[in-house]
Structure 1
Amino acid sequence: MGRVVVTGESAAHVAERTARASYGRLVALLAAPTGDLQLAEDTLAQAFEQALITWPRDGVPDNPEGWLLTVARNRQRDLWRSAAHRRNQPLETATDISADAVRQLDDLDPGRIPDRRLALLFVCAHPAIAAGVRTPLMLQAVLGFDSAQIARAFAVPAGAMSQRLVRAKRRIKDARIPFAVPGRQAMPERLPSVLEAVYACYALTFAERGEGTSPAGEARYLAVTTAKLLGDQPEAWALAALLTLASARATAPGDRYLPLQDQDPDEWDRRLIAEGEAYLRRAGRPGQAPGRFQLEAAIQAVHCDRARSGATDWDALCTLYTALVAIAPSLGSRVAHAAVIGRTRSPRTGLSLLAALPVERERFQPYHAVRGDLLARLGRHEDAVAAYTQASTLSTDPAVRAFLERRAKETSR
C-alpha cells in the first residue's frame, strides 16, 4: 500500500477525520461475522492506537480506512485462534487491504441508501434489539459518542448507560442478530429509532453547530437524506424541518452564547428558514394528527417567524408545547413547556410543572437553568443563584457555562 509521508499532527488529523467518517461502517464490518459489537469496537480502538504510532513515523496510507480494517481484523483473528495467550501480543503490521475487504466496504453502501452511516443506523434499529437501547446503541456504535455523552443526553447515570449498552451488545452477539441493511419495505418500521438517533446527534453537538462538516451539520444532512430516501414519511420530513430551522438560528458569535430572546433575527439564515418551512409543509397530512417532530418543527417555525414579524407568538408556543407534552412527554419537552408557561402565565405555574418532573431532572442542565430564570422572575434571587450555579456545573459547553455564571452573578446583585 502506498503512503504519503506527513507530520505527526497531520497523521493525527487524518485519524480523527477517518474516525468521524468511517467508524460506524468499520464496526459493522468487524462485527458482521459474529455479531460481537464489543469485540469489534475493542479491536478497532486498538487499530486506531496503532495508527497513531505508525502513521507519524511511516506516513499515512493511501487508504486509511482499509489499513484500519486490516489491522483490526488481524487482531480479531489472533483472538479467535487463541483467546488467552495471545491476547496481549502487539498488533500485526498491516501492509495492504484485500480485494474482499474493499468489496465489503463497497457493498455496505447499497444504492438505495446514499449514506453509509444512515444504512448502519437502519441496521442497528433491528426490531430484535430492545427499543429503549436502539438509539443509545446507534449513537455509540455508528455516530461515535461515548457512553458518558449519551448518558447526559438521556439524563441517566453514566454507569447505568454503560451497562445498558454492554447488555445490548451481549444480546446482539448471543442472539446472532444479523448486521444486514433492511429492504425498503422494512425501513418505516425502523424509522422512529433512526430519527431519534439523528435528533440526539444534533442535540449533543449543537455547540459545534453550522453547515459543512460539523457534527450538527452532518446530523441535519442525515435527516434530510432520510426524508428524501423514504419520500412519504411525515416524521422524517418533520425532523428535516426541525434541524434545518434550528440551524438557521445558529449564529451565536464566537465563543459567546446568546439565548434565543437575545438573538438578532437579522442575523438568521433566511435561506435555511425557507428550506425548513418547505420541509415542514411536506410533513403535513390533512386529517392526520401531527407527530412529535412535526410539533417540534412547528415550534421552531414560530421562533423563526420573528425574523418576519419582529415578535414571538407566545400563545402559539403554549399551544404547541401543550400538545407536545401530551404525545411525547420527554424530560426536555416538559422543561421547555414549563419555561413557556412560566413566561406567559406565571412563574409559579412554571415552577409547579418543574417540581412535578421525575428525579432524573437533577442531572438535566436545562431544568436548573429554567428554574433559575423562573425563580429570578419571582424575586427569589438566592434560590435563583443556586439554580444557575448548578446548571453551570452540569453544562459541558464552555460558552453556555460562562453565560450561566454571568446570569448567577447578575442575579445576586
Structure 2
Amino acid sequence: MDDAGATRGAPLAAVEAVFREEHGRLLAALVRRFGDLDLAEEVASDAIEAAVARWPVDGVPPKPGAWLMTTARRRAVDRLRRDRAYAARLALLQVEADRTEAGPTGDVEGDLPDERLRMFFTCAHPALPAEDRVALTLRCLAGLTTPEVARAFLVPVETMAKRITRAKKKIREARIPFRVPTASEVPERLPGVLQVVYSVFTEGYAASSGPRVQRPDLSEEAIRLARILRRLLPAEREVSGLLGLMLLIHARRDSRTGPDGAVVPLEDQDRGRWDRPMIDEGRQLVEVALTGGPAGPYGVQAAIAALHAEAPDLASTDWPQIVALYEVVLALTPSPVVALNRAVAVAMRDGPAAGLALLDELAGEPQLRGYHPYPAARAELLHRLGRLDEALAAYREALDLAGTAPERDRLRRKLDTIGQPD
C-alpha cells in the first residue's frame, strides 16, 4: 500500500475500532433519547457511513464517539421532522418510558452513567425467546451486522433477520421498557443476562456445527460484553464469576486444536501454550466471585476451571475437589449437562466403571438426546473398560450427532483405534 492508501486506511480502521467499542453505548443512548430501537439503529448506521466518508478527508476527530453521537442525533431529528406521525408515536413511547423510569428509589442505575446496561436487560428480557435474546445481544451490544450474526450461528441471513425483527417487534408490541431494573429486580433478571452472554461464549468455544470446532471471534465478543457488564455492575459477584470462567476456558484456545484444525483432547494439550496472564486474571476473578457471600453457579464453575488451569497434567488434577464443586453446581442449578460433567469427573477420580454407572442413570434425560458429548463420554468409558462392541456403538451414535467436521474426524479416529472403522 502506498502512503496515500495507508493514510486513507488509518481513518477507516479507526472507524471500525470506534464502532466496535462505541456501538452499544451509541445505540443505548439513542434508544434512551428517542424510544425506538429501529430508528436508533438506522441513525447509528447513518453516522457510521458519514464517518467513513468524512474522516479520511477531515481526519479522525479528538472525540470520535461524541462525533458519532452528535451526527446520529441530528439525523434522527431530521427524520422526525419529515415524518410527523412517526414523531408523535415516538413521543407517546417516550412518555411511557419516562413513566416507567420514575420508579422507586434504589434503582441501580444511579451509579451507572453508561446506558448500555439498559440494552443488556432489554435484549435479555425473559419475554423474548432464548435464541432471539442471543441474536439481539450480538446485534445491539456486540455491534455485529445481521449477516455477521447469521454467519456466527450458521443460519441463513433471512432466518436471522426474522429473529431480530421478531425480537424488536416483541419489544415494541409488549412495550418492554428500555430501563435498568430496580435493585430488588436485579437478582431475578441478572441470570438471564449472564446466560445470554455465556451462550454466545459457548457457541464460540464449542461450535454446534460447521467446519471448525472453535469460533474465537464469538468467544472474544462474549468476553468483551462480560467486561462491560463487570464495569457496570462491579458489586455483582456472579458477573465476576462468569468473566473469570470464560477467561480460564478461553486461555486454552491455542492448544485445543492442531495446525490442521483437528481436536486435541485435554490430556494431550500442550499446557505451555495456555495463556498464563489470562489464567492469572481469571483466578483473581474467581477469588472475587467466591468471597463475601454464598457462591453462585458461575463462580463455582470458574473455580472448577481454575483447578484445571493450575494442574500440570491431567493425572495430577484435583479430581476429588472438582467432583465436590460439581455437586455444588448441581445443587444450585440442577442440569443433566452438569450431571454429565460430574460423571466424567467421577470416572477420573474413581475409575471408568463408577463414571459409567452415573452416565447410565442419565440415559432417559430428554436434554441429552441429540447431545453428542453424552454418547461420546459413554464410548470413552466403555473403551477404557474393554467393552469394545458397546464402545463402537456409542462412538457411532456420537458420530451421527456431532455437528462440526473436526469433532466428527476425532470420533472416526476413535473408531479406527478400536480397529473397526466406520
Report the more deviating stretch, 7-16 or 252-261.
Answer: 7-16
Structure 2, unmatched stretches of 5+, are: 85-108, 206-213
**Are 1:355 and 2:375 counterparts?**
no
Q: What residue number does 1:258 align with?
A: 264
May I ask how many residue pairs the two structures share in their alignment? 368
Counterpart for residue 219 of structure 1: 222
Structure 1 match to 2:417? 410
The worse-fitting range, judged by mean Cα deviation, of 297-306 and 180-189 is: 180-189
Distance 1:148 1:407, change over 3 A: farther
Q: What is the CA-CA distance between 1:300 and the residue it aligns to?
A: 0.7
Q: Which amino acid aligns with 1:280?
A: V
- In 1, distance between residues paired with 2:380 and 2:74? 53
Question: Could you tell me which residue of structure 2 aligns to residue 291 of structure 1?
Answer: 296
Q: Does residue 268 of the first structure (1) align with residue 274 of the second (2)? A: yes
* 1:371/1:387 contact within 8 Å kept: no
Whole-Å separation in 2 of the counterparts to 1:72 and 1:247:
38
The alpha-carbon deviation at position 293 of structure 1 amounts to 0.7
Aligned pair partner of 1:329 in 334, 342, 348: 334
Q: Secondary structure at the match of 1:129?
A: coil
CA distance in 2: counterparts of 1:302 and 1:77, whole angstroms: 57
Cα pair distance change 1:307/1:381, threshold 3 Å: closer
Distance 1:404 1:78, change over 3 A: farther
- Contact 1:31/1:37 (8 A) holds in 2: yes
Q: Deviation of residue 312 (structure 1)?
A: 1.7
Alpha-carbon separation, structure 2, partners of 1:198 and 1:320: 22
Distance in 1 (CA, whole Å) between partners of 2:143 and 2:340 is 27
Q: Percent identity?
A: 30
Distance in 2 between the 1:324 and 1:304 partners?
Answer: 19
Q: Name the SS for the 2:365 alignment partner.
A: coil
Instruction: Tell me if structure 1 keeps the 8 A contact 2:244–2:286.
Output: yes
Give 2:248's match in structure 1, choosing from 229, 245, 250.
Answer: 245
- Conserved 8 A contact 1:43-1:72: yes
1:177-196 matches, within 5 Å, as 177-180=176-179, 190-196=189-195
| Rounded Cα–Cα distance in structure 2 between residues aligned with 1:355 and 1:159 | 37
Q: Using the TM superposition, give the Cα deviation of residue 292 of structure 1 relative to its aligned residue in structure 2, in angstroms.
A: 0.6
- How do 1:8-407 and structure 2 match up within 5 A? 20-28=20-28, 31-32=31-32, 35-37=35-37, 62=60, 119-126=115-122, 129-130=125-126, 133=129, 135-136=133-134, 137-144=136-143, 166-180=165-179, 190-206=189-205, 207-209=214-216, 215-224=218-227, 226-227=229-230, 229-252=232-255, 254=259, 255-285=261-291, 288-307=293-312, 311-330=316-335, 332-341=337-346, 344-346=351-353, 348-358=356-366, 361-362=369-370, 364-374=371-381, 376-377=383-384, 378-379=387-388, 380-392=390-402, 394-395=403-404, 399-400=406-407, 402-407=409-414
Amino acid at match of 1:236: V
Q: Distance in 2 between matches of 1:371 and 1:61?
A: 60
| Offset, 1:125 | 1.0
Tell me, in whole angstroms, the C-alpha distance in 2 between the residues paired with 1:141 and 1:69: 19
Instruction: Note the C-alpha offset of 1:314.
Output: 2.3
TM-score (norm 2): 0.64
Give the Cα separation in 1 of the matches to 2:152 and 2:334: 19
Offset from partner CA, 1:148-183 (integer Å, 9 cap, x none): 68879xxxxx99998776554223213444435668
**Deviations, residues 238-288 of structure 1 (Å, cap 9, x unaligned):** 2232123223333315434322222233433444333322222222246x4
In the superposition, the TM-score normalised over structure 1's length comes to: 0.65
Question: 2:96 is matched with which residue?
Answer: none
5+ residue gaps in structure 1?
Answer: 84-109, 153-157
Provide closer, same or farther for how the CA distance between residues 332 and 270 of structure 1 changes in structure 2, counting only shifts above 3 A: same
Paired letter, 2:357 = T
Check 1:176–1:257 CA distance in 2 against 1; reply closer, same or farther (3 A cut): same
Q: Which secondary structure does the structure 2 equivalent of 1:329 belong to?
A: coil
SS of structure 2 residue aligned to 1:307: coil
Pairwise CA RMSD of aligned residues?
5.0
